[in-house]
């Protein structure tokens, strides 16, 4: 592309749209953060077992699989913008059900509905932002959903701390029901956003797409070049062409399930990074940190919640650092730094927790080491896997496969997240928390090798240039295989 498209200045209109779309992600973050404290009161108030706690916590992630799986087809049919509205509306209903729940069954029903809304939002916010963003600031703008997830987690921690002094039959209902308020604001705000220009081109609404591109580009020449690239890609990738509005995502699943070598490599990269994002155990660490430190010797509930606030501040600080440097240093360096840092942090946390589990006096220095290790783990996650998973997943698929390909990858993300959340306590009871953290450290070591081998750098490439990037990698792999056979 021409240098006009290489403008590193942040377009204010694109930033405003990305911020509005990404606020949807605050709902998931809030649930993750608030459940870590709410579950302590729920367990006592409703007299549920540890297994029921795991099911309650993990059910949102498992049910979000439904939303993330359906979101691709939905967004191809009704558009990216209305899918974001649907996500917020669904979560709103789920939050109300949870806040008004009279028993465990009603609470689970609310988790199921909220989970579907979360699944929709996790896929659609990064895809919408990636399709709207100029190339040179796409990393920053597309990482904003993770920024809002992290802010939501911090908000959840603060609400835990503020409401923890209320009676246990009231505080958890307020904690969970509060999420309905931002859901309304998000649904209203999104109505003022434009539609994705790439979706508009696929639907034959080129004039509307051109108007959006003018607003989100640095100048008229950049907007024209972006429109030419998008239109050419649409003509190459759809049988309907950009002059008809009959394309609704048909034929995409056939291409995803029987992929060409290029699409297979894209799928491996997208599914792999989403798998390792959740196999890292980050969500479970956030959910169950109070349980971990309760076992480590911190008994007072206020102190347990206080530790989670410290962790939330660390997460928030480093996700902002990553967002602002993604377009400068690239995806691969920050991803590798984050995964290596997580492997080391989890190893330290595992050894520290093992020491505390076998120590009768629970020395303060060991507890401090574990707190630092937890903060380091979530910080390195926020530098690497946290934001980059959403950026990478939303930018590497070809235009006609982007929504449904991303939904497939995010579905894997949600499935693994649910499995980890619903088995973390059970496995930890068998092998101890220390053993669990050492296993997760091993997982992150494998993840680092995977990222190094399978994920090419995408910094500075337009969405339409991704195919050539992965074709190049395929060619290199073929040459290596041919040389080894000789």
What pLDDT, in 10s, does the model give residues 259-269?
888 889 999 99
- The 3-state DSSP class for residue 342 equals helix
Q: What SS3 class is residue 361?
A: coil
Task: Work out the pLDDT band at 480, boundaries 50, 70, 90.
Answer: very low
- How much is the CA Rg of the chain, to the nearest whole Å? 22
Residue 353 lies in a domain: yes
Please determine, for residue 197, whether its predicted confidence score (pLDDT) is greater than 80. yes
**Position with higher pLDDT, 291 vs 429:** 429
Would 5 be classed as within a structural domain? no
Each residue of 314-344: pLDDT tens digit? 888 888 888 888 888 889 999 999 999 999 9
> 184: helix, coil or strand?
helix
Q: What is the total count of domains within the chain?
A: 1
Q: What is the CATH number of the domain that holds 113?
A: 1.20.1250.20
pLDDT digits (tens, 9 = 90+) for 203-250: 888 999 999 999 988 888 888 888 888 888 777 655 444 444 455 555
**Environment class of residue 430 by beta-carbon count within 10 Å: exposed (0-12), middle (13-18) or buried (19+)?**
exposed
C-alpha span between 159 and 232 (Å, rounded): 49
**6 in any annotated domain:** no
- Look at residue 300 in the predicted model and tell me its pLDDT: 66
| Any domain includes 129 | yes
DSSP reduced 3-state for 195: coil
Q: How confident is the model at residue 473 (pLDDT cuts 50, 70, 90)?
A: low
Give 137-178 pLDDT, tens digit per residue. 888 888 888 888 888 888 888 888 788 778 878 888 888 888
pLDDT at 80 over 80: yes
Residue 329 in tokens: 């240093």
Residue 474 pLDDT? 52
Residue 384 lies in a domain: yes
Residue 440 has pLDDT above 90, yes or no: yes
- Write the CB contacts of 38 (distance below 8 Å, at least 6 apart in sequence): 160, 171, 172, 175, 176
Read off the DSSP letter of residue 194. P
Average pLDDT over residues 66-88: 88
Residue 4 covered by a domain: no
Res. 273 pLDDT band, cuts 50 70 90: very high
Asked if the model's pLDDT at residue 257 lies above 50, the reply is yes
Q: Which of 470, 382, 330 lies closest to 151 in space, CA to CA? A: 382
For residue 3, is it within any domain? no
What does the alpha-carbon distance between residue 454 and residue 312 come to, in Å, rounded to a whole number? 31
| pLDDT for 481 beyond 60 | no
Token pair of 441 as six digits: 């450290």
Is 480 within the bounds of a domain?
A: yes
Asked if 230 contacts 198 with a C-beta cutoff of 8 angstroms, the reply is yes
Task: Report the distance separating Cα 66 and Cα 63, nearest Å.
Answer: 6
Residue 448 makes CB contacts below 8 A (sequence gap 6+) with 336, 339, 340, 343
- Cα 359 to Cα 42, 285, 352, 365, distances in angstroms: 30, 22, 11, 12
For residue 169, the enclosing domain spans 11-485
Contact present, 23 and 153 (Cβ < 8 Å): no
Question: Higher model confidence: residue 289 or residue 196?
Answer: 196
């Amino acid at each position: 592309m021409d240098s006009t498209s290489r403008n590193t200045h942040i377009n204010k209109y694109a930033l405003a749209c990305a911020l509005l779309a990404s606020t949807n992600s605050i709902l998931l973050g809030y649930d993750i953060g608030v459940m870590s404290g709410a579950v302590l009161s729920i367990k006592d108030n409703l007299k549920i077992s540890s297994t029921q706690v795991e099911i309650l916590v993990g059910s949102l992630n498992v049910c979000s699989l439904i939303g993330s799986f359906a979101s691709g087809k939905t967004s191809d049919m009704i558009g990216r913008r209305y899918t974001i509205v649907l996500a917020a509306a669904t979560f709103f209903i789920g939050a109300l059900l949870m806040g008004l729940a009279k028993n465990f069954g009603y609470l689970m029903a609310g988790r199921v509905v909220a989970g579907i809304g979360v699944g929709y939002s996790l896929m659609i916010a990064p895809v919408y932002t990636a399709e709207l963003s100029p190339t040179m600031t796409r990393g920053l703008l597309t990482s904003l959903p993770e920024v809002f997830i992290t802010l939501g987690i911090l908000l959840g921690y603060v609400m835990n701390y503020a409401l923890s002094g209320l009676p246990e039959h009231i505080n958890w209902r307020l904690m969970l029901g509060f999420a309905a308020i931002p859901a309304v604001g998000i649904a209203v705000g999104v109505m003022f956003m434009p539609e994705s220009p790439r979706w508009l081109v696929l639907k034959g609404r080129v004039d509307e797409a051109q108007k959006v591109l003018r607003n989100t580009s640095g100048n008229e020449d950049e907007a024209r070049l972006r429109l030419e690239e998008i239109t050419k890609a649409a003509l190459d990738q759809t049988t309907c062409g950009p002059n008809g509005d009959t394309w609704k995502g048909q034929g995409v699943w056939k291409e995803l399930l029987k992929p060409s070598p290029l699409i297979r490599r894209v799928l491996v990269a997208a599914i792999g990074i989403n798998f390792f994002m959740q196999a890292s155990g980050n969500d479970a660490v956030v959910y169950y940190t109070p349980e971990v430190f309760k076992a480590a010797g911190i008994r007072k509930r206020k102190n347990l919640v206080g530790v989670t606030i410290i962790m939330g501040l660390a997460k928030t600080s480093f996700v902002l650092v990553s967002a602002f440097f993604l377009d400068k240093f690239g995806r691969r360096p920050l991803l590798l730094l984050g995964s290596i840092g997580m492997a080391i942090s989890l190893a330290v946390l595992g050894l520290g927790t093992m020491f505390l589990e076998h120590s009768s006096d629970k020395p303060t220095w060991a507890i401090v080491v574990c707190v630092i290790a937890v903060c380091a783990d979530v910080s390195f996650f926020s530098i690497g896997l946290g934001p980059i998973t959403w950026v990478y997943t939303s930018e590497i698929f070809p235009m006609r496969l982007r929504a449904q390909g991303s939904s497939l990858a995010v579905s894997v993300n949600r499935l693994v997240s649910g499995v980890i959340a619903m088995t973390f306590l059970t496995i930890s009871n068998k092998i101890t928390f220390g053993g669990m953290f050492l296993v997760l450290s091993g997982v992150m070591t494998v993840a680092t090798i995977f990222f190094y081998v399978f994920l090419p750098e995408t910094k500075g490439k337009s969405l339409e240039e991704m195919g050539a990037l992965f074709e190049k990698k395929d060619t290199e792999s073929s040459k290596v295989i041919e040389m080894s056979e000789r």
